[in-house]
Amino acid sequence: MGPGPRFAVAALATLALGCGRTAGEHERRADGPTPSGAARTTARQGTATEEAEDRSAVDGGTAHDAKDAGSDSEPRPQAPARGSEADGDSGSENRKPKTENLRAVIGADGFMICGEPPEGMSCIPGGPFVRGSDDGNPDERPRGEVTVSTFHIDRHEVTNAEFGECMAAGVCELAHHYAGFHAGDQPVVAIDWLNAAAYCAWVGKRLPTEAEWEKAARGADGRTHPWGEEPPTCERTHHADCEPRASKPVGSFAPGPWGLLDMAGNAYEFVQDWYSACYRGCPDECGDECFGTDPKGPCGGAARCPGHDRRVLRGGSWFWEPDQVRTSSRRGMRPDSRGHRLGFRCAVDAPPPGPVGPPAPSADGIAPLTAAERAVFEGVEEEILRARPVDVRHWTSSNESDHALWFPTVAGLGGGYLGVGSDPNFTLFAAARSSFVWLMDYDTVVLQANRIYRALILASASPQEFLLRWDSFERKVTEAVVAEAEAGAEDLPELLVQLDDNFEEAGNYFRKVAERTEAGAPGSWLADPVLYRVVRRLFQERRVRIVGGDLTRELPGRIAAAHAALGVPLRVVYLSNAEQYFAYGDTFRAAIWAMPFDERSVILRTVSRWLPDRSRHVWHYQVEPAGHFVEVLRGGVERFSDMEERATYVPTGGLSWLGEEER
């Protein structure tokens, strides 16, 4: 991996190569560790009203809201019913919007013409509209024109019944379920931004941007309320002056523009954007990021936005005054807020013109290990390793960033996966849909890194939530998550030191990983919510072993024997560039010969070579059929360098092939 690589990113830094303890060494909840209420209530800047709301929502108490102190307290929460983790998330594919057969026709104005929308959604035609209000609150200013592309949005807010399916699948979590708010047709509330985003990703959608939401609410004529210019009444919407003092079932009022329901009142709705004090013209303005075509708000919608720690709420709620149900009204709320008035709905891009590619793999069908499988899988003994020094230069260097080049090779291979290092493996075994995963390394720092990643993945329902763990204001919460997950580990103090020393570097690295693309599509486990869900489900079902071992010693042979006993072929062996550091000894040869490969099995490695002008090295992502590797080892090849020149290479880097003459 890098300048001297497989050593990797000491304790979480950018290269992030690592491994961790075996699944059998310590039990964990199937749905991952969850920080306590105290750990979640990190101090942040906000208004007195917001702080009162959040204390009530997070701690489950009865704090009175600042707007009418003493008259209206939060209801006491009831614990939500959770679905069985063993059930998997088998219903998610059926819930994804069916867009593959929708027509995508470009109109004369350059925007897609609305056809039939996915079930339960409305199509909002693309084009310019006037957003904001100069007569409203300061954060609604200035009034001005922006443009959004054609998109689809849910006709109603996500309900308890719908969200319950995501909970049963082990993807979504609900901190509280308040009495009087849990009917199946009521909007789900007590939702934080992270779980709203996770649900939308689970059903193949996303949160709408703030601009999309306002265009949908205003309609083609730019109205002040979804129903028009008339003032809010309890016959038109549900706000603080109306009864009951709880949300109503979705669709309790007449539809507004484009057939949308409850765009005013009932539940406040989280949208994608970070909150700013105004669009333009104030000290904390959003600026250019809030204007133009398809604005995404501060920082362009990035997962991390320095100086911004709140997300936008839209639409008002049953709990707030009528003024907040205006289509231009907006409010900021911390991402971890989850009061009894906070809900959401989802959106999805209109289908692109032209053919649509094959659907991405889903995490459905990832089942718990059987007793027999667990006995074999967790029965493999890892090697006792002594701590090895790690070159500190590798803590902050990043390389091998194009693993998505292997997607066509590994997609859907299934079977077993053996890889050295850390998070680059996550992208590969998720794309392969591997059923048994072995993450091994001889570097104890790498092992500790993977244990930290495992803890945070299990505690994070979506890529966005995982990335938020690396924000500075979440630092204490992140430490608490790791401490809880690794409670009782002898090296826990060292683990937490590693986390603290490399927190910022690791966060920067993962934000880069989340931006990777290949041929215009997501190119990593953090860029693709579906791949992330596969990774998380495999960890939840304890199908990932994090084991210490050396490729040249006994562990690979033990893994080979385990797969023979399981009756599952090893389909992917990812060696990174480890082979440049060792010769093929007898123990290594015997392990490779014993591995239960089949005709689909592949060896993946990275090879660093000079550019033709010898100005620098570039990476080549090599594929070798496993059967070919077995034969060359039987033929007496002693090192990778002995066969390196037999492969095909693109001079400037990219895919490389060894042992496939037809290529």
Q: Please write the tens of the pLDDT for every residue from 449-490.
A: 999 999 999 999 889 899 999 998 889 999 999 999 999 999
Q: d(Cα 424, Cα 421) in Å, to the nearest integer?
A: 7
Average pLDDT of span 632-644 = 93
Average pLDDT of span 624-650 = 93
pLDDT over 90 at 130, yes or no: yes
Give the amino acid at 646: R
Q: Which residue has the higher pLDDT, 181 or 387?
A: 181
| Residues 443-462 as b or e (16 or more Cβ within 10 Å = b) | bbbbbbbbbbbbbbbbbbbb
State how far Cα 518 lies from the chain centre: 17
Other Cβ atoms less than 10 A from the Cβ of 333: the count is: 23
Q: d(Cα 64, Cα 49) in Å, to the nearest integer?
A: 9
Beta bridge partners of 622: 605, 656
pLDDT for position 118: 87
Q: d(Cα 8, Cα 347) in Å, to the nearest integer?
A: 39
Q: Which domains does the chain have, with CATH numbers?
A: 10-30+368-657 (no CATH), 47-111+154-349 (3.90.1580.10)
pLDDT digits (tens, 9 = 90+) for 524-572: 999 998 899 999 999 999 999 999 999 999 999 999 999 999 999 999 9
Phi, psi of 350 (to 5 degrees): -65, 150
pLDDT for position 203: 92
Least confident of 1-15, 163-177, 429-443: 1-15
**DSSP for 85-132?**
GGGTTTTHHHHS---TTS--EE-TTSSEEP-SPPTTEEEE--EEEEE-
pLDDT over 50 at 51, yes or no: no
pLDDT for position 107: 58
The reported pTM is 0.52
Q: d(Cα 31, Cα 256) in Å, to the nearest integer?
A: 39
pLDDT digits (tens, 9 = 90+) for 191-246: 999 999 999 999 999 999 999 999 999 988 899 999 999 999 999 999 989 999 89
pLDDT over 70 at 508, yes or no: yes
Extract the tokens encoding 69: 């102190």
pLDDT for position 364: 56
Least confident of 5-19, 334-348, 628-642: 5-19
Mean pLDDT of the chain: 81
The DSSP code for 328 is: T
**DSSP for 618-657?**
EEEEEEEEHHHHHHHHHTT--SGGGTGGGSB--TTSEEEE
pLDDT for position 98: 53
Q: d(Cα 43, Cα 62) in Å, to the nearest integer?
A: 19
Q: d(Cα 646, Cα 315) in Å, to the nearest integer?
A: 63
**What is the SS3 assignment for 278?**
strand
Sign for the pseudo-dihedral over CA of 478, 483, 486, 490? positive
Nearest 5°: the CA angle 249, 255, 256 is 130
Least confident of 94-98, 529-533, 619-623, 652-656: 94-98
Q: d(Cα 144, Cα 278) in Å, to the nearest integer?
A: 12
Other Cβ atoms less than 10 A from the Cβ of 3: the count is: 13
